[in-house]
C-alpha cells in the first residue's frame, strides 16, 4: 500500500501532462488496492470462540 502511494507521489512530482499523471495515479491506486486485498487475506476468517 505504501508502494502504491509512493508511485502516486512520484507521478505528481515527475510528470507534468495531465493524462500521464492520471494514468500513473490510477496505477498507484491499483497497487494500493492490491495491497489492501493482501492485508484482508492475511487476517484469518473469524470462527466461534472457545470458552
Partner 1 sequence: MPLSAPSLTDVVTVLCIALILAVPFAIAGLCLINTGLGRSRSAAQMMMCSLGVVAVAALVYFAIGFAWQGVPGGPAYYFAVGGKPWNWIGAERLFLRGVPLDISSPSLSVWLGIFSVGLAAIIPLGSGADRWRMSAAALSTILLAGFTYPLFAHWVWGGGWLEQLGANYGIGQGFIDAGGSSTIHCVGGLTALSIAWILGPRRGKYARDGMPTAIPGHNAVYVTFGCFLSLIGWIGLNGAGSILMAGVDPGNVVLIAVNTILCAVSAGLTAAIVTRVRFRKPDASLSVNGWVGGLVASSATCAFIRPPEAVIVGLVAGGLVTFSVEWFELRLGVDDPGGAISAHALGGLWGVLAVGLLGRMGVAGTGSHAQLLAQFVGIATLLGFVLPLTYGLNWALDRVYRQRVEPEGERQGMDLHELGGGAYPEFMTHDEPFERGL
What residues line the site for partner 1 (CB under 8 A)? 1-6, 8, 12-14, 18, 21-22, 25-26, 28-29, 32-33, 35-36, 40, 43, 45-49, 51
Contact of 35 with 1, CB cutoff 8 Å: yes
CA-to-CA separations, 7 to 15, 16, 46, 50, 51, in angstroms, rounded: 11, 14, 33, 44, 46
CB of 34 to partner 1, least distance (A): 11
The minimum distance between CB 4 and partner 1, in angstroms, equals 5
**Smallest distance from the beta carbon of 47 to partner 1, in angstroms?**
6
Amino acid at each position: 500500500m505504501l508502494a502504491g502511494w509512493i508511485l502516486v507521489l512520484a507521478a505528481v512530482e515527475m510528470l507534468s501532462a495531465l493524462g500521464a499523471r492520471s494514468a500513473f495515479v490510477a496505477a498507484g491506486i491499483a497497487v494500493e488496492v492490491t495491497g489492501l486485498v493482501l492485508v484482508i487475506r492475511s487476517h484469518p476468517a473469524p470462527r466461534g470462540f472457545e470458552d
